[in-house]
Structure 1
Amino acid sequence: MSTFRLGLVVNPLAGLGGSVALKGSDGAETAALAQQLGAEAKAPQRAAYALQELREVADQLTIYTGSAGLGAQSCELAGLDCEVVYHQHSISTAADTQALVQCLCEQHQVDLVLFAGGDGTARDVYAVVAEDQPVLGVPAGVKIHSGVYAVSPRAAGKVVAQLVRGELATVTHADVMDIDEVAFRQGTVRAKRYGEMLVPEELRFVQAVKMGGRESDEMVLADIAADVVERMEDDVLYIMGSGSTVAAVMDELGLPNTLLGVDVVKNGELVAADVTARQLEQWVIDEGQAAHLIVTVIGGQGHIFGRGNQQLSSRLLAHLGKQNIQVIATKRKLQHLEGKPLLVDSGDPMVDDSLCGLMRVTTGYHDEVFVQVDAP
């Protein structure tokens, strides 16, 4: 049996800006600022979660990767052997990503390039990869609009394992998308399509391109908002997740809203705007304040955690528990999922598993439906 040749590329700086509310990590200055604010690199561990799914097929697999955070660290965390074929000489940059991809494809003719990062990383890979080279992304960034990413790290690993076993052979073209981070930090989504890359076609495991635009049915949003506000209790911190559906609740309260950030409300007043993961953990976990989280569904993808709301850390979600999380969405948005489950990708598989199962979703005024939640 021939050995499957896997190329692994990790952007160790991907996702740094999410937990500290920077809305991204593109550029050395932003990454440095995120680290100064206390952000920790999560991409190597998320790549390791994907690699853990390959343990059973390790004897059929050779992994080629870069040194340290570019991939070797993730292999070590996952307990897998690898062959280091590229060494970075300073802080990881886009040039390292591109040089490693070129090395994997041109010198080692890998069967698949598995890369961990966000939309900026996908653009870096796209810039140098051949049109006929299959790739697959492990979601590890703040911005995940591209269709080249799996729905979670573990899902990415399952796809690769299927490929190694010969269970999947079909690939399809998927969009490489990215947004303007400067505009994003100001509350505007300005997405651009940069091209396509080949990805394994397994729709349960590879995400759709994110839907853009605000919800048009204002009456339904108003009904949802009225229901949420009516249920609010005194002296409870309400953590308001990002998105236009949650924005409707803030409008109902008459409060300013950070459309693409996380705000905190208590007793009908805005306590803090565009907060970080550490702030939330301090108030809710360290200080023990009663809290309730309100989130919505990302249109077209179905994620409720792990896409653009990394301020909602796995530690916070574990502390809150499923009973203190309220999901709100219009039935139209749920129908667009075509029966697929809602998805959680908090970065901690144990937390993800605890959130799986049936979850009530508020879809109108005193109107709820049960929806399945999964962690592929």
Structure 2
Amino acid sequence: MYPTLLSPTALGPLPLNNRLVLAPMTRCRTSQPGDVPNALMAEYYAQRASAGLLITEASQISAQGQGYSYTPGIYTPEQIAGWRLVTDTVHQAGGKIFLQLWHVGRMSHAAFQNGGLPVAPSAINPQAQIWLADEHGQGRMVDCPTPRALTLEEIPGLIADYVQAARNAMAAGFDGVEIHAANGYLLDQFLRTTANQRTDAYGGSQANRLRLLLEVSQAISTAIGAERVGVRLAPYITARGMACPDIIPTILAAATALDALNVAYLHLSEADWDDAPSIPEHFRRQLREQFRGRLICAGRYTAAQAESLLQAGWADLVAFGRPFIANPDLPARFANGWPLAQFDPSTLFGGDARGYTDYPAYAGAAA
């Protein structure tokens, strides 16, 4: 059953047991103060280590890069040590794991910016909300303020933060990193005319809007090796002010440039709501022509749909999000035709083991 999805493959130097990927999903379970990864998170990822590849929840590269409560960082010694516990536990379970590097840009709040404003390409409000917890750990959705535009002088420091975060990830034992340039966060904001109205070298033309993503990707690839670098992009997502009329040509140009850098993979965050547009075959064909590395697709795929996508050659791996929350043994469930459990959305963000590590493996497995 699902012979391609469940077959071994490789990602650069890494052998993978199958083509299933744990999609990056924010779960907000860090220890406080300091947004430190912990033993509970190590257990969560190790439970899902039978995936060919695990991609962690997005992790801020700096204090400025945070936009939600209790999300992990990768910029303090305590955070690095916490992530080392996670990677050691995953590797002991036979898994491979990449850290997703994140700067949220304008998707933030004064609570994370020492009372100041979030940064962005331009001072344009995203008309969106972030999850903010109070002193008792109770979270609620709050509006994002209008950000301030990054100055030209701040950009080299921002790139340096990305590079240091990637080096920290390798020190923490990760097999590689994924640069988050999707879903309306900072690097995605630079790509789109709806969020980026700069008139300097980082705005205006397509080449200028691509500049920051490519400079970050080049610098990280130089620091840790391009074979350990992936990039996440979101071609057809329009929420958070991301409905840019030039985004598809821009994404394809990014693919060409990232191919020249020899990064390990591109990861497409495809729209996953019920009435989302389907990804047209002509886009998939163009992407294949312009990027020779591995392609990961993440959407609301079933195992059968994932198998078809792989057999058609439009992806090399397929990432699963929601199904992996309630089914830590997802590859085994697909392989054996076992039923899938449903996750509880009320325990998605924050909290403890409930709705996080207490989903069991399939009860009929032992029998």
Same fold (TM over 0.5): no
TM-score normalised to structure 2 length: 0.28
Tell me: higher relative CO, structure 1 or 2? Use CA pairs within 8 A at least 6 residues apart.
2
Q: Which has the higher strand share?
A: 1
TM-score normalised to structure 1 length: 0.27
